[in-house]
Amino acid sequence: MKKLTLVITAVLILSTAVVVIRTLLHAPPPFADITQVNIDLDELALAEHLSQAITFQTVSHQSSSEKQDLEFQRFIDWAKATYPEVNSQLSLVMLNQTMLYKWQGSDNQLQPILLTGHYDVVPVIPGSEHKWTHPPFAGESVNGEIWGRGALDDKSGVIGMLEAVTYLLKDGFKPARTIYLSFGHDEEIGGPEGAAAVTAFLKETQVQLAWSLDEGSFLFKGMFPGVNTLVAAINVAEKGSITLDIVATAAGGHSSMPPSNSAITDLAQAITRLHENPIPGGLEGLSAKMFDVISRYMPFSTKALFANPWLFSQLIEKQLSASPTTNAMLRTTTAPTMLSGSIKTNVLPIEAVATVNFRIHPRDNTESIVAFVTDTVASDTITVRNRGGVNASAVSAWDTPAFEQIAQSMREVYGDIAVAPGLMVAGSDSKHYGKVADNAYRFNPFVLAAEDVSGFHGTNEKISVATFIQGTKGYIQIIRNGSSH
Ligand SMILES: [Zn+2]
């Protein structure tokens, strides 16, 4: 007995020692000796340009009949007039209302690159205009903040790139790689005439990009509990999506003599089963790498978990699954969004339908999701109808010179920060551009704090002038470094 106690004690001491040592070793990489850049920008002029850009109501509506073509044309004319250096020294091809600039590089041996953003925006929900502190299309600049639809998504990206190129042209910079710049007009409705047309054009002209950089993630500030440093999450993939109808059928009849089970109760049970059986996920591949990097900046107690997956993997996954944001990184998510049943209060339904939207993690695909859901809910009375979907994008490599150049550019602007590959939970035009790029990255070099997130597609979208200026410097460095070799 005494011997057993001794053995147990020894094992405990040993495991504790391993946990502590592994945690101590799980440190951030030492900050390389990087000189921060000193770029002098005309901040007032830049802010004024972004304000002006917001005033064009380049809204992508779900129905194309609502599109105000003239606003798009006015934006294009304004961009050409406001950035004369870009317009005269780069060549421009218009693909519908998407602008594709080409900046010829000096070394034809190097594969070209693409920087891209979109100048269309989502509508402001009718009736919600009064909730905006400053009107959504006035581009008002108040107390160092620029307000309006597109301030974050994604006019700041487009204007930041135009300002960056203007600065570099004036500075006499000549890229070694050819740089394409694409400013899309229909990203918010999937990019069928913008990014898709640019992709087809590049294919026709036999251009295969080394890499592309689109909107996506940001430098997150205070977004991860306990992490004080900025986290540049450079998205290397985007999730797919599939929508399934869960259909319950029954005999129907009068509601005065209901059977014990109806289409509605069967459907409710099916939805509960889906809720109780999330699609399996886990900390592996891209998600594992992302949390491995970020956890190095966490407090000791949290770090201890991530440094010792051999002991704590189940606990980590449970904790990450509990938060909607991190859960979405780990797995394909399940979101019931619509319900329908009977057409009248006293009629039992012959069919009840729940519509469920799944955002597909790169580890799954549309077929595997249909199979999982069918397996989980199908019965004599429940069937699964597929409304259609798309798989997740390919996962771009993050051990590439390009990823390192983007990371390096961020350190030159922001100092000692964490850089990790990330997964985009929404969609972007890169689902098109990825077809002509060896690697497709999705990242805006702007700082984003937790309180800014509700502005995306929401009310009171805004960006601070300081954030916009820093981000523009980010684009300058990305172009300098990314086009050099
Ligand atoms: Zn966007």
Residue 252 forms beta bridges with which residues? none
DSSP SS3 for 397: coil
Residue 120 a catalytic site member: yes
Structure tokens at 106: 């000096």
285 close to 306: Cβ distance less than 8 angstroms = no
Q: How far is CA 94 from CA 73, 76, 197, in A?
A: 11, 10, 10
Task: Enter the tokens of residue 392.
Answer: 């997740």
Name the residue with tokens 């999705």.
Answer: 442
pLDDT at position 451, please? 86
DSSP single-letter state for residue 38: -
Å from CA of 216 to ligand 1 middle: 7
Q: How far apart are the first and last CA of the chain?
A: 68
Predicted local distance difference test score (pLDDT) of residue 224? 86
Say if residues 433 and 212 touch (Cβ distance below 8 Å).
yes
CB atoms within 10 A of CB 155: 31
For ligand 1, the distance from its centroid to the CA atom of residue 157, given in whole angstroms, is: 9
- Write down the residue that tokens 């699964």 correspond to: 384
Secondary structure of residue 334 in the 3-state scheme: strand
Neighbours of 353 (CB within 10 A): 17
Tokens in use for 18?
């391993």
User: pLDDT tens, 416-469?
Assistant: 999 999 999 888 999 999 999 999 999 999 999 988 888 888 899 999 999 999
Helix (H, G, I), strand (E, B) or coil at 476: helix
Residue 309 CA to residue 31 CA, distance in Å, equals 26
- Is residue 282 domain-resident? no
> What is the rounded distance in angstroms from the CA atom of residue 32 to the CA atom of residue 185?
40
**Would you state the pLDDT for residue 399?**
96
**187 carries an active-site annotation:** yes
For residues 365 and 391, the answer to whether their CB atoms sit within 8 Å is: yes
Distance CA 211, CA 198 (A): 15
Q: Which residue, chain included where needed, has tokens 């934006």? A: 75
- Please check whether residue 261 lies inside any domain of the structure: no
Helix, strand, coil shares of the chain as percentages rounded to 5? Answer: 40, 25, 35
Catalytic-role residue among 145, 154, 186, 187 = 187
**Look-up: residue for tokens 């289409």?**
263
Spans of the chain below 50 pLDDT: none
Could you tell me the distance, in angstroms and rounded to a whole number, from the CA of residue 189 to the centre of ligand 1?
10
Phi and psi (nearest 5°) for 357? Answer: -100, 130
pLDDT tens column, 101-140 = 999 999 999 999 999 999 999 999 899 999 999 999 999 9
Q: Is residue 182 part of a domain?
A: yes
Ramachandran assignment for 423, one of left (phi > 0), alpha (psi -120 to 50 degrees), beta (any other): beta
Residue type, 403: F
Cα gap 226→299, rounded to integer Å: 6
Distance from the alpha carbon of residue 356 to the mean position of ligand 1, in angstroms: 24
Query: What are 53-94's pLDDT values in tens digits?
Result: 999 999 999 888 899 999 999 999 999 999 999 999 999 999
Q: What is the distance between the alpha carbons of residues 142 and 134, in angstroms, rounded to a whole number?
A: 9
Residue 368 lies in a domain: no
* Helix H or strand E encompassing 91: strand 91-95
User: Domain range for residue 155?
Assistant: 43-217+425-482
Q: How far is the CA of 154 from the centre of ligand 1 (A)?
A: 5
Ligand 1 center from residue 127 Cα (angstroms): 23
Say if 338 falls within a structural domain: no
Q: Contact at 8 Å (CB) between 396 and 297?
A: no
Measured over the CA atoms of residue 107, residue 109, residue 110 and residue 114, the dihedral's sign is positive
Tell me how far the alpha carbon of residue 257 lies from the centroid of ligand 1, in angstroms: 52
As a whole number of angstroms, the distance between CA 257 and CA 73 comes to 63
Give 394 Cα–ligand 1 centroid separation in angstroms.
Answer: 19
Q: What is the pLDDT of residue 32?
A: 75
Contact 423, 290 (CB under 8 A): yes
Collapsing DSSP to helix, strand or coil, 192 comes out as coil
Say how many Å lie between the CA of residue 354 and the centre of ligand 1: 29
The answer as to whether 74 is a domain residue is: yes
As given in the structure block, the two tokens for residue 379 are 């019965």
- What are 357's strand-pairing partners? 243, 335
Q: What confidence score (pLDDT) does residue 284 get?
A: 87
The secondary structure element, H or E, covering residue 142 is strand 141-142
Helix H or strand E segment including 184: strand 179-184
pTM of the model: 0.91
Between CA 317 and CA 330 the distance in angstroms is 8
The answer to whether 242 and 370 have CB atoms below 8 angstroms apart is yes
Distance of CA 215 from the midpoint of ligand 1 (Å): 6
For ligand 1, the distance from its centroid to the CA atom of residue 187, given in whole angstroms, is 7
CA neighbours within 13 Å on the CB side: how many for 96? 18
What stretches of 331-424 show up as alpha helix (H) in DSSP? 366-377, 401-414
Q: Is residue 250 part of a domain?
A: no
User: Which amino acid belongs to residue 81?
Assistant: A
CB atoms inside a 10 Å sphere around CB 176: 14
Tell me the CATH number at 467.
Answer: 3.40.630.10
Residue 139 to residue 151: CA distance in whole angstroms = 8
The answer for 91, left when phi > 0, alpha when psi is -120 to 50, beta otherwise, is beta
Domain assignment present for 255: no
Residue entry with tokens 């639809």: 149
Work out how many domains the chain is built from and give that number. Answer: 1
C-alpha R_g of the chain: 26
Say how many Å lie between the CA of residue 229 and the centre of ligand 1.
25
| Site of tokens 């429940």 | 382
